[in-house]
Amino acid sequence: MKILIATDAWAPQVNGVVQTLTQLTQKLADQGHEVQVIHPGLFKTVPCPTYPEIRLALWPWKEVMRALKGFNPDAVHIVTEGPIGLATRLLVRAKSIPFTTAYHTQFPEYVKARFGLPVNWTARLLRWFHKPAKAVMVPTPSMIATLQSRGLSNCVLWQRGVDTQCFNPAPSKAAYSMAHAPAALTACDQQQLELIRQLNNTLVTRPVFLYAGRVAVEKNLEAFLSLNLPGEKWVAGDGPARKALEKKFPGVRWFGMLKHAALSELYRTADVFVFPSLTDTFGLVLLEAMACGCPVAAFPVTGPLDVIGGSGAGVLHTDLQRAALAALKIDRSVPRQYASQFTWDNCARQFTSYLAIRSQQAWAVKQMPQPKALSNRS
């Protein structure tokens, strides 16, 4: 099947949406599908207001139309509600082409956090955007309930996965090579090696409470950093709020943006992964941490409620400090075992089962009418 994916989130952005799409496109290719992605790297872009790390495509209409006609996809999937997603939606609607969408981000809540606009204003726009889709792929049941309460009845559950080859409790190849096989170090990830050296040469005061992800106002990171906890607080990630938070919380260890190989070392080292967000639809970092054996502490809100629930792999409580301390008592085998059930192969299979398959004549060039046969009569 030929699948066209339109997204405003793509590398070099580092977030859960990009991670999901990276894994998804690889698994779709492995399953024999042909995939084309329309992403910001194909266009001239401008920085997103208040979030310059995200680039928004300028006037993508012509290129989107060219991709639709040239690729002639069997199915069209729209990932985001940005310029590329909007252009694709309007063009396929104009041609009566069926399509699917995804809901990755609690956009109304993010807009309220950044600009103060009422949630119901942005929710109306999202309802207009997603309502014509054959299916809106949503990562959790509670998020489906929220969207249904906002007038979207076409939501389906599309779960996420975790790469257990990268994220697992076993000592990494880099750590083993550093201790036992120095000759093999040249083949290891250099950022990962540098982080291992840093951790080995630093006195770590236990317990270690870790957050990994975007450092931005909507992540509610101050709720974690202001907790009175024993040991150390670590943060891996970057974003527009980092400088201000570093200044406000000088006792926190800041590791910056890390690739997966290095990030897995932090998950293995930390005692508890603290997730203070109140607005995430899922939270891939929850799965990554648990796959490495690190239990989770979080608020009982959308995302953690669905991902962790009553699994015993973490502690959810309105008092985040209480949750963090209680999570210290969880055996690390519990989150590891629980996370192993979330696979990217299943994610890709779910995705294809929801796609809207269209008529192959939709983008075909109109044929000239055939002349009528000449009569045999004189």
CATH number at residue 267: 3.40.50.2000
**Residue 358, both tokens:** 């269209």
User: Which is nearest to 349 in space by CA: 130, 160, 154?
Assistant: 160
On whether both 192 and 280 belong to a single domain, the answer is yes
Q: Is the dihedral of CA 219, 169, 190, 287 positive or negative?
A: negative
On whether both 117 and 49 belong to a single domain, the answer is yes
The whole-number pLDDT of residue 184 equals 86
The whole-number pLDDT of residue 305 equals 94
- 166: in domain: no
pLDDT at 371 over 60: no
Domain encompassing residue 154: 2-161+344-354
- 257: in domain: yes
The whole-number pLDDT of residue 182 equals 86
**Residue 204, both tokens:** 């770590």
The whole-number pLDDT of residue 95 equals 92
Residues paired with residue 56 on neighbouring β-strands, in sequence order? 46
CA angle 34, 40, 41 (to 5 degrees): 80
Mean pLDDT of the 206-227 span = 96
- 187: in domain: yes
On whether both 136 and 196 belong to a single domain, the answer is no
User: Which is nearest to 294 in space by CA: 263, 259, 336?
Assistant: 336
Give 105's DSSP letter: B
**Residue 342, both tokens:** 């979330």
User: Which is nearest to 82 in space by CA: 9, 138, 12?
Assistant: 9
On whether both 312 and 237 belong to a single domain, the answer is yes
User: Which is nearest to 288 in space by CA: 229, 207, 213, 200?
Assistant: 213
Q: Please check whether residue 100 is in contact with residue 135, taking contact to mean a CB–CB distance below 8 angstroms.
A: yes
On whether both 188 and 53 belong to a single domain, the answer is no
Query: Sorting pLDDT into bands at 50, 70 and 90, what band is 107?
Result: low
pLDDT at 339 over 80: yes
- 251: in domain: yes
On whether both 267 and 203 belong to a single domain, the answer is yes
- 167: in domain: no
Strands 296-298, 272-275: pairing is: parallel
Phi–psi pair at 344, nearest 5 degrees: -75, -25
The whole-number pLDDT of residue 104 equals 87
On whether both 127 and 20 belong to a single domain, the answer is yes
Query: Sorting pLDDT into bands at 50, 70 and 90, what band is 367?
Result: very low
| Per-residue b or e along 241-262, where b marks 16 or more CB atoms closer than 10 Å to that residue's CB | bbeebeeebeebebbebbeebb
pLDDT (tens digit per residue) in 131-188: 999 999 999 999 999 999 999 999 999 999 999 999 999 999 899 888 888 888 888 8
Average pLDDT, the chain: 91
Percent of the chain at pLDDT exceeding 70 = 92
The whole-number pLDDT of residue 361 equals 54
Query: How far apart, in whole angstroms, are the C-alpha atoms of residue 223 and residue 270?
Result: 19
The whole-number pLDDT of residue 52 equals 80
- 378: in domain: no
On whether both 177 and 80 belong to a single domain, the answer is no
Give 81's DSSP letter: S
pLDDT (tens digit per residue) in 254-271: 999 999 999 999 999 999
What is residue 305's three-state secondary structure? helix
